[in-house]
Structures are given as structure tokens and as C-alpha cells.
Structure 1
Amino acid sequence: MNYHLNGSIPREIFKLPSHSWYLDLSYNSLSGPLPNEVGSLVNLNRLTLSGNRLSGKIPDNIQNCLVLEWLSLDNNLFEGSIPQSLKNIKGLGILNLAMNKFSGNIPEALGSIGYMKELYLSHNNLSGFIPLVLQNLTSLTRLDISFNNLQVEVPNEGVFRNITYLAVVGNINLCGGTPQLHLAPCSVSKNTEKIPKSLVISLVTAGAFLFSLSVILLIWTLSKKLRPSKNIFAQNSILDDHYKRIPYNALLRGTNEFSEVNLLGRGGYGAVYKCVLDTEERTLAVKVFNLGQSRYSKSFEAECQSMRRIRHRSLIKIITSCSTVNHQGEEFKALVFEFMPNGNLDGWLHPKSQESTTNNTLSLAQRLAIVVDIVDAVEYLHNYCQPLVIHCDIKPSNILLAEDMSARVGDFGISRILQENTIEGMQTSYSSTGIRGSIGYVAPEYGEGSAASTAGDIYSLGILLLEMFTGRSPIEGTFRDSLDLHRFVEDALQDRTFEIADPTMWLHGGQHDNTTSIRIQECLVSVFRLGISCSKQQPRDRALTRDAAAEMHTIRDTYLKFTGEHGAEREASTREIQNIVE
């Protein structure tokens, strides 16, 4: 993410705690080499350094990042050969080295990374032939090798069966491949001259070995699936293997058999329980799905598909999934999340206690910080997550608060995944369930049958923002006929700002002088204007996600500057640093 950083990558980054798993320094002005210390981030799950001016070679000890799943070094000045050591990162799913100065051959070692799903090598100086072993990567769905100096025949098996012309364009010496590539046919003599006979024999031998191994694995997998199983352990088939597996019996004990005492809340798709495992001191949250109707099972699948793709500090972190049979012989599906000790935002905006105190309400500074967390999460889903995700149900009860009152966006049960592959995208987003947003927050166009869009999330975000700073729910009884929360704030924006603001915000501070009051009023006006801009009736009139996030950061930073809340400012800076590295 763009934090206007320049110079070399700070060495302090590589002294992060062992639990740091996400590092995004993309689209800054960083230069110099990638330090060898990158290998010390052994728990790193994703490294994104795209869009900088980094140069030199990729250090071999990057192989020490054994759990790395996503490596994006595109749009830099890296040079030299692609390191063979990448083959040791067995779980690497996305590798993006496009738009650099890499030279030499495409390493055959990449063919041993069995979990590789996407490989981008375009706009480099790579030469030689395309390794045949790449067509044996059964998980590989996207490959871009355009604009290099590659030559000889394009393979026509595996991912190469569906590869497009755009993925190979710019390599004038390539030939063969599938008909849709429109490449010249390869002559036998030309291939014989280009590829040594010993190399052909080696490749055929290697291919035969890999084919035999694939057959053995296929037979073993089928026999395992066909064998009747009474195992009641969590079958983590949807989430990746590095997620910790927790047995059903452990969840049963940790929730005291899912007792009401440990119930944290109920929703349309099931219930959430507090869980303390025997083997750990930390507390977890277990979301158990109601499988009485098929759409609830689809919700489980949809949430799994969304959660496996997203990595951001302000999104609820999933621990694992559990899909098995319970002690009563019934189908059981659950997701296990990190526990949020301060509950959800709805409980703070509308406390059940009749008496409002500093212990059950939020200050203005806290609300600003929470909104910044939320807009950062939404911006990530809309602009940076691959593939992009539309949440579809942004509301206070889906915003969870950590111990330090930082916010986490959760509940992706009806989210939509936007994919360039339209057919697959519709399947993974479960379009047959329809849009089921929440009354008061759902965008007006959804009621007219419009498809899910980022503008729909922005509408919900705008209503949420207005609710946070007025303390009024969009579905409360005072709103009827043509009056809604949007119109209520819009009508009172200029001359009744303090009147419509949530009075519980002022419980957290003393008396303000006239100058401070003016600054606070300016802050509230800016917040309300942003909320109004986001919640306009027509989607085309709403603020863009990127603009809403930038505006909210400006509002928060301006408030902290003029009110002199240095402690809050330091806390905000610390959280922004965490946002970069987590």
C-alpha cells in the first residue's frame, strides 16, 4: 500500500515478532536490494513489494519463508536469474515477478511447487524454452509469460490448453501450442537443433515419472474418499493445509457442549460460541452453521471461499474450519475465528444498559479510529484483494472490536467474489442465494434486482458511518415515510450539527474552548458529508471506495492534530505500522 515511503527497506522490518505474517510495502518509492534478512520472516504468509524501484537479485534465503503463499515483486528493477531456491517454498500459490529485468531460463524448479495457482513472468528478459514440467502443475490456472525472449514449442497440456494469445505475445520465436495461440507450427528439424537429444530424454523420463506419481496419488486419493469414515475430526478441505486443524471433540469440550452460557450471539445462519481449548490458553470464537436449509450450507461454503483469500489486519482472522459429523450423527459445519473480547460495534452504539457511561460508549476519537479501520478493510476487499470481494452486509453487528478497540470486519456469509473468470466467479459466490443484506443498510438498487457491486458496499458503509456519529439506527421508529437516516442528517447538516450528534461522545472529555468546539464541529460536518456522499440513492453518485478511504484518513488525522490528542495520534500511527506489516 502507498505510504509514501522512500529509500531502502528498513532493516527493522525484519525484526518483527515471529507471528508477523503479512508484509505489504507496495507502490512506494523504495529502492536498493531486497535485504538477505527477508529470510528471517519464517512465518510470513504474504510478501507484496510491487510498484517500487527495488533492484539486484532475489536473495536465495527467501526459501526460509517456508509458509509463504503469495510473493509479489512485480514492477520493480530486479535482475539476474529467477532463484532455484523458490522450489523449497512448497505452499507458494501466487508468484508475480512481472515487469522486472530477470534474465536466463525459466527454472524447471518452479514445476515442483505443487500448489502454484498463478505465475506471472511477463515483461522480463527471459530466454530459452518453456519448461514442460509446468504443464504438470495441476493447480496452475493462470500463466503469463508474454514479452520475453522465449523460443521453441509451447506445450499444449495442463494450463497450456487454455492459455490465451495475450499470455505469450511478445515472444517472436515461439511456435506450436494450441490453435487459439495462432503461432507458427514448429518444424521437426528446428526443434531438433534447439533441444539436445539428452535433454529430450531427460524431460521424457521426468514426465513419465511425474505421470506415474500422479496416477499413484490419484488412486490413493480415490481410495481414501471411497473408504467409509467415522472420523469426527475437522476436515479442513476448503482452507489451506497450513491452517491449524481442531477436532470436533475439542470444540465440543471448549464450548461446554455449545451451552447457552458460552453463546456470544445468534444470526440468520447460526450461532457463535465462546470456546477455550484444553491445549491453549487463548479464547476462540466458533461460528456453528444451521444446516436445516441448503442456503445455510452455501453460506458456509461462501464464507470459506472468501476467508481463504483475504489477508488484512482489519478483517476478522480465521483459525480453521470444521466440516464433519457431530456426536449425534448429524452434519456439522463451523468456522473458528479469533475471539474479539469487546464484542461488536452494535453493542457499543446501542448499549442495553439504560445508563450510558464511559465504560459502554465510544468517544469521538474512538469512533474515528474504528471507521478508519473499516474503510481500510473495505478498500482492501474492493481494490487489493485478489480476486476482489464484495461484502454485501456491512453493518454494526458485523464489526467486531479487539482488546485495543481496533475494528475487524467479519461475517462473509453472503459475500460475492468477483473474478475475471465469470463462470467460476458466479459459482464461488453462490449467486442462486440472491442478495440478502440487512434492512436499513442494503443498497436501494438491490431491491430492484441489480447485481452486487462495490457501490452497494459503499452505500452500507455510508449508513453505518451516519449511525456511528448520530447514535441513531437506520431502522428506528422515528424514520418513516420519506424520512430516513440519510435525509435526517442531510437536513440538519449545517445549523444543527451538534444537535444530531450522538451525545454519549461527550461523556469522554471535559469542557472544550471555543476553538476546539469549532474544530470538532468541522470534523463532524466532514464525517456527515462523507456519510451522505456514500449513501446517495443512485450508485453512480456515490463516493468511490478509494476516495472514501482517503477522505476518512484525512478527517481522522486533522482531528487528532487540532485537538492535541497525542496519545491517540501515537496509537493511530502504531496501528498504521501494524497495518503495513500484518
Structure 2
Amino acid sequence: MLPSDLGVHLPNLKYLRLGINHFTGSLPASLANATEIYSLDISFNNFTGKCASRDWKALPDFLSFDTNQLTATTAQEWKFVTFLTNCTRLRIFDVQDNMLGAMLPSSVSNLSAQLQVLYVGYNEISGKIPSGISNLVGLTQLQLSNNRFTGLVPGSIGMLTAASIGVQGNQLTGLLPSSLGNLTRLLNLYTENNMFEGPIPTSLGSLQDITMATFNNNKFTGPLPTHVFNLSSLSVLLNLAYNNFVGPLPPEVGSLTKLANLYIAGNNLVGSLPDAISNCQSLIDLRLDTNSFNGSIPASISKMKGLAILNLDNNALSGAIPQELGLMDGLKELYLSRNNLSGSIPENFENMTSLDKLDLSFNHLDGKVPLHGVFSNVTGFLFDGNLALCGGIPELHWPPCLQNSKEHRKRKLVPILKLIVPIAGILFCFSLVLISISLKKKQKAQSISLAEFCLMDDKYPRVSYDELLQGTNGFNTNNLIGKGRNGSVYKCSLPLKNTITTVAVKVFDLQQSGSSKSFISECEALNKIRHRNLISVITCCSSSDSTQNDFKALVFDFMPNGSLHRWLHLDEHTSQRLTLAQRLNIAVDVADALEYLHNSCEPPIVHCDLKPSNILLDQELVAHVGDFGLAKVLPNPASEQQVDSNGTMGIRGTIGYVAPEYGEGGQISTCGDVYSFGIVLLELFTGLTPTEDMFRDGLTLQKHAENAFPGMLSDEEAHACTSQGVKNAMGDINKVMLSITKLALSCSKHAPIERISMRDAAAEMHKIRDNIV
């Protein structure tokens, strides 16, 4: 802590720079007596309490309180800004990344006309952006991001001369003001993660010096803004992703000749990709996925020699993959999945030595999978859903290709077909009748068998398809509360024990490959478990729907607070956040659930798909682990090493959370769940998913977390952070994060043998929680 009389003993102090240390406590009010102070920097410490709210006798030029734990919850506690209006030479004012709440006072508009930098981002500030902020005529950088600002961006903002404006990560609504076009010196504009709507103003076409603009994750509508595409100064990033833009990708996109990164994913775009896009010779990263583009992939894309990432996933592209793409020596990642592409994989892809990620899954490709070059080690390559592929390296498990060419086989089969086809047609029709009868009998028998499996005794009430249909209002989308790989979950009202009870019904999509096996796996696992932190199954339904198609569903207790994923990510604008104590309790709940599955079940159960969307929260925010569709019941402890992680349902788990050994064909074991728990723990306390765009070039969530605490992960400090001293310190957040990070990294080590057991992880999690909460 700093001495309270610091300013008294150093009245002539001019420069006080304490940044990037571990200071705690409050900022001494006596600093106001240091009348000669010119520069004050306390950034990146752990200062707490209120900002000094007495009149400054000094006239500082530089004030940085960046990244501390300073608070302001009322207008009175923001009064320090009013006192700073006397500082006529103030150039830099930085209070970002603290715990400042309430409304930004209007007196911020009366700060020095010399003010060049105003950073208040990464706080909890609410209310509207003060319209008088335009009085700060000398402002070059304005950062209001990641707060809770609401309402419109004031039109007066166009009166500034700023080079960088950031309003991203708030709850701002309405149209972007056209006055932004007056900011002719603007270099960077950040508006993402708000609720802006309507078209992007045409006036932005006047920003002739802009290098970066982000509009993603809003509600912008209309066609793509050609006036923005004509801004040839854009060189770093243009992000228009995840809005409601419609229409084609206009040829004006070719004007972005200096741009390095272009993201237009997640819109409603249609039509063919224009050849003009090949004019973007500086592009490194191009993402057009999750739209409805059709036609063929332009071969001219290969002219973009610097392109490292090309993502065209989830469109309606057709035709063959252009051979020319194989000439792109610098391409590292190519995503073409979930289109209508046909033909074979170009053989010259073997020569793309820089390619380390290739996703061609769920197309209509056929022929031979190349063997050599980059295809000799296909880690990171995906081909699923192309049923006519053959060959490739043995690890792919594709059927071998026949030796004869297609033309040779065709000539050889023609005379045989002339004889066989008429006979086969008659036999085929007859066979269809027999198969239909057989299938109906088999489905009926299977349904009865599964029903008997689920309804083993009277503790499971019997429910019919009609009751579920009525309770969900015909499986109405208004009752849809979740959707996964194998089906959908609905809110349902059922008459149970003579009362109407709200439950959750998971309806399996039996058209999806593996759903029936997932239903059986989940029934088998849920029938063996009883624990307060595991989802409780009420019953199941295995019968036929109104069209006599097979129908399978599971009925669970309803969890009113939804999934942990929703709390961590989807509802980021809600006023209700998880507290530190709630996060610790959730982590303990999940640890207890897994420890029970691994050590108290006989035989043990491996969940295989732990992630925040499979962790549900009840009325009291108690966590319940659910979705046992990929769970594996181990016959006995010794058999853990005999269960292959690859099967008819593919790798068990979700990308980012699945243990690395599963992706390499390793064996299913409880170690895999421990890894997933470590990743969930990091996500719970950092708010970052393991698949964030920032995690590339070797950076992972684990390394990011480890880097956040450099040099702090010693055994001595880990012991200190779980001692009674932490409890007495009212739960020091940094020490909590230190303990959590150490535990999560111990769980998520790459090698299974290096991970701690779930029993030890649960015990450690209890120790952290009990010494903090």
C-alpha cells in the first residue's frame, strides 16, 4: 500500500509512475497536495476504493488509472471527474478496465480542450453517452467500449476530430449517426457487439483515411455497403459479419486492394462470388462462411497469393473444387464444408506444404483421397459426409479404391446391365414390399424393447407421444429452449402425480446419424446415476409419431436458468452477471458430478462431452451436468484402456473441449473428462471459449491463462492463495484466479498421464471455494 501522507511529504512531486506492479489499497487523497504533479500513472495494479474526489491543486497532464479495481456506483463517486475540469492542460485520461459503474457524468464534456485521449472502456458504466462529449475538440482517441451504454450514439460525435473511436461491446441501439462521415481524420472505427440496425450510413464513404472498421454482431440490414468497399484506405480489417445483410457480394469488393482481413460471415447473402474479389491482392484472411452463396468457386481466387485463410463453409456452392486453389502456396487454412461441391479432391493439393487445416466435410465429393504430401498426415483435415470418397492413408478408414478406371468399368458393365436391369426392376419392386413389412415389425419390436429398457419399474411414469405433443403445443418453436447435434429440447407441461409439471423434453432427430445410439447411450447412463449435480431423468418415450415414424424422447427436470454457456456468452448484455462466489459454486458442482461418475458409479461412466452448454442451472444456480448422448459406461476399471475413442459416432466430444488423445485415436478414459473440466474451468473464469479467433499460431486458452499470471504459478504462492489469509483478505480476485488457473492447467495437460485425477481436482476445488467464499 502507498503511505496515506505521500502527498504531504512530497509536495514538489512531478512524476509518479507506479504502473505494472502489485500495489493494493486506496490511492492516497494526500496526492492532491502535490501541487507540482505533472504525470500520475498507477496502471496495472490492484488499487481499490474510490477515485480521489477532492479538488486537485495540481494541474496534471497525464492521468492513467488503467486496470485496477477502482469503483464508482453513484453520481457522487464520479465527482472526481468534475474536479478534473480545472486541469486545463490534461492530455491523457485513462480509467479503463476498472469497476466503475453508474452513469458517466456530463461533466466529462467539460474536461480540458487539450484532452487527446479519453479511455473509459471495460467498466460497468450505464446510461447514455453524454452528447456534450463533442466539446472535447482536441480528442484523438475515444474509447467507450465494453460497458453498458444504452440508447443512440449522439449525432454530435461527428464534431470531433478523433482518429480512433470505440463504442463496441455495449447495448447501443438505433442507426449509426450519419455525422460519423464528418470525421475525415478517422483511422479506426469499432462498433461491434451492439444492437445497431438499419443500413450503414452512406456518409461513411467520406472516411478516406480509415484503415480499420468493425460492424459485426449487430442488426444491420440492407445490401452490403458498397460505399465502404470503395474506401481504398482500408488496410487492416473490415468486419461485417453476423448481421442481416442481404443480396449479392458486389463487384466493388475488388476495390479493397490494400485490405488484409475481410469478414462477411453469418449474413443472408446470395448469388455467385464475383471474380473481382481476386483484385484484393493484400488479403490474408477471407471469411464468407454461413451465407447462401451459390454457383462455383471462382478459380480467380487463386490469384490472391498472400491468402492464408479462406472460409466458405455453410453456403450452397456447387461444382468441382478448382484445381487452381492447389497453386496457393501460402494457404494455411481452407474451409469448404457443408456446400454442394462434387467431383474429386484436386491432386495438386498434395503440394500445398503450408496447408495445415482442410475441411471438405459434408459435400458430394467422390474418388480418391490423395495419399502424399500434406495428405500423409491429415491431422486437422476433415472429409466426413462425403460417402463416395475412397483411399487415403489408413487412419482415415476409407474403403480402398477399385483399380479399374471409371470408363473401363462402364464399358465392361454395359452389356451386363442391359440384361440385368429389367429383371432387377421387377425384383426391386417385390423386395420393397417385403422390406417395408419387415421394417415396421422391426421398428415396433425395437420401440418396445427400448421402452422396456427405460421403463424398468414403476418409478418411471409412462408418457405418450400425444402427451408430449400437447404439452409442447405441437413442438412449437416458442417452446424450443435448446438444440444440439442429436435433437432439440422443448419446454413442456405434463400431468405428473396429479399435477401439471414443467419439464424439459429432448426429442431426438432420428434422421441424424448416430441419434438412435445416442438415445440408447443416454438411457443406459442415466439409468445408473443419481446425484444432485447430474440432470435428473423423469422418464422416456419410445414410440411412433402421428405419421407412424419412429419417435424417441427423454423427459428431464426443467432447469429455469438454462445453460452455463448462455450465462457466460449469449446473454452478455443482461444486467445480471455471475458473481465470483456463484462461479466457484458452479465449478464445485461440476467437479462433484464428474467425481461421482468416475469413482462412485459401478461400473464407472465417462461423460465424453463436458462443455458449458451441457451444464444446466436450476432456480438456485446449482449446476447439473447433462447430455449423456456420448457417455461411455466402462465395463470395469481395467477396461478403460480397451475402449477406442473413435466409433460410429466419430470422435467423442466437442472441438476445443475434447481431450487431444481422442483426436489422435487414443483410448476413452476418465482422463478425457478431466481435460474437459480444465477447459470449462478456464472458460468459466476468463469468459473466453477455447475456439476464440484469438487462439491461433500456437496460442491456446491454456497458454493465454498461464500468460495472464507470469511467474506466479509457484508451489509456494499456490499454497498461499489457498490459505486462511485469502479468506481474511475478503477473496482477493487475483489470488482466486491464481488458484483456479493452476488447477485448470493441471487438469488440461496434453498428456493424460500428467493430469490429476478427478477426485483430487474436486478436493482442490472445494478447498479453493471454502477458503474464498
TM-score, L = length of structure 1: 0.51
The 8 Å contact of residues 690 and 700 in structure 2, kept in 1 or not, is answered as: yes
Distance in 2 (CA, whole Å) between partners of 1:227 and 1:462 is 42
Pair 1:257 & 2:474 matched = yes
The 8 Å contact of residues 418 and 425 in structure 1, kept in 2 or not, is answered as: no
Pair 1:384 & 2:603 matched = no
Match of 2:558 in 1: 339
Once the two structures are superposed, what CA deviation does each residue of 1:413-460 show, in whole Å capped at 9, x if it has no partner? 001110139999999999543433111101111111001111111000
The 8 Å contact of residues 641 and 669 in structure 2, kept in 1 or not, is answered as: no
Q: 1:347 to 1:231 in 2, by over 3 A?
A: closer
Distance in 2 (CA, whole Å) between partners of 1:284 and 1:536 is 38
Pair 1:269 & 2:486 matched = yes
The 8 Å contact of residues 316 and 337 in structure 1, kept in 2 or not, is answered as: yes
Q: 1:239 to 1:294 in 2, by over 3 A?
A: farther
Q: 1:228 to 1:482 in 2, by over 3 A?
A: closer
Distance in 2 (CA, whole Å) between partners of 1:473 and 1:548 is 21
Pair 1:408 & 2:621 matched = no
Pair 1:452 & 2:665 matched = no
Once the two structures are superposed, what CA deviation does each residue of 1:538-579 show, in whole Å capped at 9, x if it has no partner? 11111111110100000000002xxxxxxxxxxxxxxxxxxx
Match of 1:440 in 2: 656
Match of 2:764 in 1: 551
Q: Aligned partner of 1:323: which letter? A: S
1:102-141 → structure 2 map (5 Å cutoff): none
Structure 1 SS opposite 2:492:
strand
The 8 Å contact of residues 463 and 474 in structure 1, kept in 2 or not, is answered as: yes
Pair 1:522 & 2:740 matched = no
Once the two structures are superposed, what CA deviation does each residue of 1:145-195 show, in whole Å capped at 9, x if it has no partner? xxxxxxxxxxxxxxxxxxxxxxxxxxxxxxxxxxxxxxxxxxxxxxxxxxx
Once the two structures are superposed, what CA deviation does each residue of 1:344-369 show, in whole Å capped at 9, x if it has no partner? 0000111335x352x2x200000000
Distance in 2 (CA, whole Å) between partners of 1:281 and 1:226 is 35
Match of 2:138 in 1: none
The 8 Å contact of residues 275 and 286 in structure 1, kept in 2 or not, is answered as: yes
- The structure in which a higher percent of residues are helix is 1
List runs of 5+ in structure 1 lacking aligned partners.
1-224, 498-512, 561-582
The 8 Å contact of residues 414 and 435 in structure 1, kept in 2 or not, is answered as: no
Which among 296, 315, 324 is matched to residue 543 of structure 2?
Answer: 324
List runs of 5+ in structure 2 lacking aligned partners.
1-440, 714-725
Distance in 2 (CA, whole Å) between partners of 1:428 and 1:311 is 27
Q: Aligned partner of 1:412: which letter? A: F
Q: Aligned partner of 1:395: which letter? A: K
The 8 Å contact of residues 467 and 473 in structure 1, kept in 2 or not, is answered as: yes
Post-superposition offset of 1:341:
0.3
Structure 1 SS opposite 2:478:
helix
Distance in 2 (CA, whole Å) between partners of 1:384 and 1:523 is 29
The 8 Å contact of residues 419 and 425 in structure 1, kept in 2 or not, is answered as: no
Q: Aligned partner of 2:702: which letter? A: H
Q: 1:286 to 1:430 in 2, by over 3 A?
A: farther
Q: 1:288 to 1:429 in 2, by over 3 A?
A: farther
Distance in 2 (CA, whole Å) between partners of 1:280 and 1:424 is 44
Which among 283, 286, 289 is matched to residue 505 of structure 2?
Answer: 286
1:55-66 → structure 2 map (5 Å cutoff): none
Structure 2 SS opposite 1:412:
coil
The 8 Å contact of residues 606 and 670 in structure 2, kept in 1 or not, is answered as: yes
Once the two structures are superposed, what CA deviation does each residue of 1:202-236 show, in whole Å capped at 9, x if it has no partner? xxxxxxxxxxxxxxxxxxxxxxx999899999934
Pair 1:304 & 2:546 matched = no
Match of 2:588 in 1: 372
Q: 1:470 to 1:495 in 2, by over 3 A?
A: farther
The 8 Å contact of residues 507 and 554 in structure 2, kept in 1 or not, is answered as: yes
The 8 Å contact of residues 287 and 334 in structure 1, kept in 2 or not, is answered as: yes
Which among 240, 245, 249 is matched to residue 456 of structure 2?
Answer: 240
Distance in 1 (CA, whole Å) between partners of 2:642 and 2:747 is 26
Q: 1:229 to 1:531 in 2, by over 3 A?
A: closer
> Which of the pair has more CA radius of gyration?
2
Match of 1:146 in 2: none
Q: 1:239 to 1:271 in 2, by over 3 A?
A: same
Distance in 1 (CA, whole Å) between partners of 2:656 and 2:706 is 17
The 8 Å contact of residues 369 and 556 in structure 1, kept in 2 or not, is answered as: yes
The 8 Å contact of residues 510 and 516 in structure 2, kept in 1 or not, is answered as: yes
The 8 Å contact of residues 521 and 628 in structure 2, kept in 1 or not, is answered as: yes
The 8 Å contact of residues 236 and 323 in structure 1, kept in 2 or not, is answered as: no
Post-superposition offset of 1:409:
0.2
Q: 1:426 to 1:514 in 2, by over 3 A?
A: closer
Q: Aligned partner of 1:333: which letter? A: K
Match of 1:541 in 2: 754
Distance in 1 (CA, whole Å) between partners of 2:515 and 2:695 is 32
Q: Aligned partner of 1:546: which letter? A: R
Match of 1:397 in 2: 613
The 8 Å contact of residues 565 and 613 in structure 2, kept in 1 or not, is answered as: yes
Distance in 2 (CA, whole Å) between partners of 1:286 and 1:429 is 28
Distance in 2 (CA, whole Å) between partners of 1:465 and 1:255 is 34
**Percent of counterpart pairs with the same letter?**
50
Which among 313, 321, 330 is matched to residue 532 of structure 2?
Answer: 313
Once the two structures are superposed, what CA deviation does each residue of 1:90-114 show, in whole Å capped at 9, x if it has no partner? xxxxxxxxxxxxxxxxxxxxxxxxx
Q: 1:427 to 1:287 in 2, by over 3 A?
A: farther
Q: Aligned partner of 2:479: which letter? A: N
Structure 2 SS opposite 1:433:
coil
Match of 1:480 in 2: 696
Structure 2 SS opposite 1:387:
coil
Post-superposition offset of 1:524:
1.7
Distance in 2 (CA, whole Å) between partners of 1:276 and 1:404 is 21
Which among 705, 716, 730 is matched to residue 489 of structure 1?
Answer: 705
Post-superposition offset of 1:237:
3.0
Q: 1:425 to 1:536 in 2, by over 3 A?
A: closer
Structure 1 SS opposite 2:453:
coil
Q: 1:552 to 1:228 in 2, by over 3 A?
A: closer
Q: 1:539 to 1:409 in 2, by over 3 A?
A: same
Q: Aligned partner of 1:313: which letter? A: R
Match of 1:532 in 2: 745
Distance in 2 (CA, whole Å) between partners of 1:234 and 1:257 is 24
Post-superposition offset of 1:268:
0.3
Once the two structures are superposed, what CA deviation does each residue of 1:1-28 show, in whole Å capped at 9, x if it has no partner? xxxxxxxxxxxxxxxxxxxxxxxxxxxx
Structure 2 SS opposite 1:455:
helix
Post-superposition offset of 1:521:
2.3
Post-superposition offset of 1:478:
1.0
Q: 1:260 to 1:274 in 2, by over 3 A?
A: same
| CA root-mean-square deviation | 3.2
Once the two structures are superposed, what CA deviation does each residue of 1:362-381 show, in whole Å capped at 9, x if it has no partner? 00000000111100000000
Structure 2 SS opposite 1:405:
coil
Once the two structures are superposed, what CA deviation does each residue of 1:307-355 show, in whole Å capped at 9, x if it has no partner? 00011110000000110000111100000000000000000111335x3
Post-superposition offset of 1:293:
3.8
TM-score, L = length of structure 2: 0.39
